[in-house]
Structure 1
């Protein structure tokens, strides 16, 4: 999940995009592309996918909620998809691109203080479940197992006011683990030109306090 914040310090406005598995919502256990937005920290305004007006889809090539056909396997082939959220300088809309396809946009009118730039961003995962039946996150394995075994984010970039993409410095990147017994996040590190700045995250199923 990639998250972009539009207000500081209250962080009440944000947008999310990523992949998720939700048997109740979708009726299956397939990984799917999802989006979420809120203008009041998720209390009333905002929603997932197209459950309410907000995100405007402009592409017919890919759709929000579609099944992701290729998934990574433990100690096997690894797959990833590229996601970006960038502000259009002409319209000031926040454009969502998955792979090479621009799917659509969020209007800045949905949010507060979102005309020019975002105040913060984050990457990671989350689970929602009864505490006694918490599902795995990512591959279900901890970050320490590394490539081919743990879920990962790679090529983390931000775009500045001059529209130049930049790498994150490790000192500017904070790690948050809400339930470290079950789910962990590794440190940010530079893995080379192909994967750039990246980190691993995730963990097994089990009871969560």
Structure 2
């Protein structure tokens, strides 16, 4: 199984926890936010490219015929494993409307490829309920346990597609020092013991903000 993608232990055990947290999995991401002609969010397209160390560990775990590559059935098995494993974490996807969280539906499939020593995953995800282009909408991709680092190298890696007429958008990259300063009262022992339970990592994540 893709055990490294499953955050099973807290990486925020010592003070100052946030500053010393060390993700074990790294991925460069691209997110395409697609609006329908009817004025709603239709779906999100995710593309994740994982670091070579993690990718090589997946190769070792899933290369059943030991030919040092991932054949189509092996890639399909990885996709099925991740599809089941990340459901609990909403596929690292967070959507909000005026501050209210919007659930996401389970993708039909997670496509997987392996090129130049790196694992790639592609999948489309949809809001579980209608998400009209009204108010303040946010879109983020992050691991709530901080075990995996899903990063957008450039603002251009978060893309709007479709009809967003009348909406303003911006990629927001929070300053960690400012986040810590503004949330000192919330950095309790409970947070250090269970960062996922407090959802504090959401405050540090890059996000797209859209106002319509």
TM-score normalized by structure 1? Answer: 0.28
Q: Whose helix fraction is larger, Structure 1's or Structure 2's? A: 2
Give the TM-score normalised by structure 2.
0.28
Look at both structures and tell me which one has the larger radius of gyration over its CA atoms: 2
